[in-house]
Amino acid sequence: MTSEREQHGAPAGNLALVTGASRGVGRGVALGLLAAGFRVYVTGRSIDQADLPPEMRRLRCDHLKDEQTARVFDAIRSECGRLDLLVNCAWGGYERMAEGGAFTWPAPFWDQPMHRWTGMMDAGVRAAFVCSAHAARMMTPRHRGLIVNISFWAAQRHLGNTIYGIAKAATDKMTSDMAVELKPYDIPVISLYPGLVRTEAVLAAAESGAFDLSTSESPEFIGRVINGLFHDPNLMTRTGQVLVAAAVAKEFGVLDIDGKSPPALTLADI
């Protein structure tokens, strides 16, 4: 039995995997990369039901289960033989923010439900680590690739709850240390901070006045920024760094889907 790769040859163009692409930032990244000409693989627990174009290769995956993650990379290796870009968006930290009629998200650490640790650290940080390890095994022999970890300002100040800060700080440290080990192979690793993104959850909350969307970003904007980074000939000079998506966009002249240039938030703005 021949594989797709054997039948049709390795695919032309750049190949990206976006984890956690069923909704939110992950879905937007996948759409942005597809529009930029990438061949896009997407994963998620509910990826089969996601509102995504048929051109994307959907691989259902619960990244809490290592064997399912391994099957994703086995499929990419079998069908394409390579991976050019990994964007780690898988994240379970925004699930079950309210329980029993109480909004538990901002509770002190001693009152936090432990499923939040699992959602942020295991479905988030650990999933990114495991996916990056698989990706590195495919990228290092070719000395080509880029790994992007979606992170946020909670790494640098208290925002919401302690577990959130731990998870984002761990993501940034993971990025920094992976960059050291991948530098001899010319593979950059970046932590990327979005601003306020118009995800499904944010739009729903905005209807009640919870958010001012005047300076917000579309989910696709992040994909556009990542495409700009991928094609930056000097990207290795940024490896291991934390980058603010809107600041990178201004540098590269990248606009949002509405033609606007979102402001680059700073720590003082958060």
Residues labelled as active-site residues: 164
The first and second tokens of residue 139, run together, are: 């990228």
The answer to whether residues 8 and 77 touch, using CB atoms and an 8 Å cutoff, is no
The answer to whether residues 121 and 167 touch, using CB atoms and an 8 Å cutoff, is yes
Full 3-state SS string of 33-69: HHHCCCEEEEEECCHHHCCCCCCCEEEECCCCCHHHH
The answer to whether residues 116 and 99 touch, using CB atoms and an 8 Å cutoff, is no
d(C-alpha 251, C-alpha 44), whole Å = 32
Residue 148 host element (H or E): strand 146-150
SS3 for 241?
coil
Residue 98 host element (H or E): strand 98-99
The answer to whether residues 24 and 47 touch, using CB atoms and an 8 Å cutoff, is no
The answer to whether residues 158 and 165 touch, using CB atoms and an 8 Å cutoff, is yes
**Residue 259 identity:** G
Question: Which of 78, 72, 18 has the alpha carbon at shortest distance from 50?
Answer: 18
Question: Which of 29, 24, 18 has the alpha carbon at shortest distance from 204?
Answer: 24
CA distances from 153 to 52, 100, 255 (A): 29, 29, 22
